[in-house]
Amino acid sequence: MKFVHIADLHFDIPFTSLNRIQNLSNIRRLEQREALRKVIEYIKENSIECLFISGDLYEHEYIKQSTIEYINNLFKQIPDTRIFISPGNHDPYITNSYYSKYSWNENVYIFNQKINKVSYNDCDIYGYGFQDFYCKDSKIENIKIENPEKVNILIAHGSLNDIKKSEEDYFNYNPINKNNLKNKHFDYVALGHIHKTNFDENENIIYPGSLISFGFDELGKHGMIVGEITKNNRKIKFVNIDNREFKEEKLDISKIISKEELVEKINNLKIEPNKLYKIILIGSRNFEVDINLINKLIENNQILKIKDNTEIGYDLEKMSRENDLKGIFIKLMLEKQTNNISEENREKIERAIEYGIDALSEDR
């Protein structure tokens, strides 16, 4: 059986992280549609029998009916492909959801909170869908495979215990013990929820990652898993779908002596096409770094974010001993840095010192 496995499309998500560039959110939304269209074209061209969608197909809070109709019209283009959807925490199967109130094409099967099994040719396909925005126990680990001689597949949205970000996050979104799941002996487990793929051709418990990237916490390529499976053999591969890629670049500003020079350096960075950048400033700073000002002066619309990870480059203790207005100012400010001061307040004092030094400099 030939299949495609995707997850975490999040249709109609606001894309708030892209607001710095005018219309980029709308452009990204169109690219999101294009990504699913490319998946459907691949399915048509390669006679794919099953499409697995492992949750978060759309954003329940923001989804428009016109978007649902766009998705369903794409599904109508592959009538011979069985489509299995496992609702997740962003698109749960609740009373007013489009899963329950919309008339989906006949080739679409949507799992609900009761673990169900669908037999298709020589395969048994098990699945579970969120019935709320949280799920602490889907009972997936209690599944007993009924026909071990057949190809057995599980489709679900949830958090494997070996890649959880935090205990709280893990227990809110369908915690799954990976070892227990392995002991069920599924031939393939199609998971969703984690936006970065864990693809390994020798692994059978797979996150495809989000179909497109939503920000700088989702670096790298994004796409789908394509596979062909029998009881005795499994071939899978990752296929890139997203035309864009979020990328981070570090810029050491230790030898840069002014805001103007920094802006020039950023504007002259070599930028790859179809990539969106976060520039991380590192090293020691010799002037006050004003992120808001820098953002206004950046010429390249592929640079979305500037992050300041620099450390103050002045020898404040030495400067505080100078018998001038600047030295007196620095000495008074350093006296405010007591041992029990919070890191946040310490950073505020350092910034205040920088503003003061900048204001008192003779060359202003």
Confidence of residue 350 (pLDDT cuts 50, 70, 90): confident
Q: Using one digit for the tens of pLDDT, what is the confidence trace for 125-168?
A: 999 999 999 988 888 988 999 999 999 999 999 998 865 454 45
In angstroms, the CA 287 to CA 22 distance is 30
pLDDT score for 54: 98
Together in a domain, 152 and 265: no
pLDDT digits (tens, 9 = 90+) for 298-310: 988 899 899 999 8
pLDDT at 170 > cutoff 60: no
Q: Give me the mean pLDDT over the 342-348 stretch.
A: 79
List of long-range contacts for 18-25, beta carbons under 8 Å, 24+ apart: 18/276, 18/304, 20/295, 20/304, 20/305, 21/301, 21/304, 24/301, 24/304
Same domain, 139 and 197: yes
Same domain for 178 and 78: yes
Same domain as 223, residue 76: yes
Same domain for 148 and 235? yes
pLDDT at 301: 87
The contacts of residue 78 (CB under 8 Å, 6+ apart) are 40, 43, 44, 48, 51, 107
To the nearest whole number, what is the mean pLDDT of the chain?
90
Cβ distance 9 to 36 under 8 Å? yes
Shared domain for 135 and 104, answered yes or no, is yes
Residue 91 near residue 55 (C-beta atoms within 8 A): yes
Of residues 11 and 274, which shows the higher confidence score? 11
Q: Which residue has the higher pLDDT, 340 or 228?
A: 228
Number of domains in the chain: 2
Instruction: Measure Cα distances from 178 to 75, 114, 210, 237, 301 in Å.
Output: 32, 21, 20, 21, 42
Residues 27-43 pLDDT 10s: 899 999 999 999 999 99
Using the 3D structure, point to which of 216, 240, 264 is the last residue of a domain. 240
Q: Domain of 51: which CATH number?
A: 3.60.21.10
> Does position 19 have pLDDT exceeding 90, yes or no?
no
Q: How does residue 351 score in pLDDT terms, banded at 50, 70 and 90?
A: confident
Highest-confidence range of 102-111, 271-280, 332-341, by mean pLDDT?
Answer: 102-111
Domain of residue 53 covers 2-240
What pLDDT, on a 0 to 100 scale, did the predictor assign at position 364? 43
Q: Which pLDDT belongs to residue 320?
A: 83
Let me know whether 213 and 254 are in one domain. Answer: no
Final residue in a domain of this structure, among 208, 240, 272: 240
Pairing of strands 123-127, 151-157: parallel
- Alpha helices, H only, the chain: 24-45, 65-76, 98-101, 167-172, 178-182, 259-267, 291-297, 316-320, 325-334, 343-360
124 in the same domain as 171: yes
Q: Same structural domain for residues 335 and 310?
A: yes
Instruction: For 342-364, give the DSSP string.
Output: -HHHHHHHHHHHHHHHHHH-TT-
Question: Above 50 in pLDDT, residue 242?
Answer: yes
Same domain, residue pair 129 and 257: no
User: pLDDT: is 150 or 352 the higher one?
Assistant: 150
The arrangement of strands across the sheet holding 151-157 comes to: 116-120, 123-127, 151-157, 188-192, 205-206
Domain boundary (194, 216, 240) is at 240
Residues 165 and 57 in one domain: yes
Residues 235 and 340 in one domain: no
How many other CB atoms are found less than 10 A from the CB of residue 346? Answer: 13
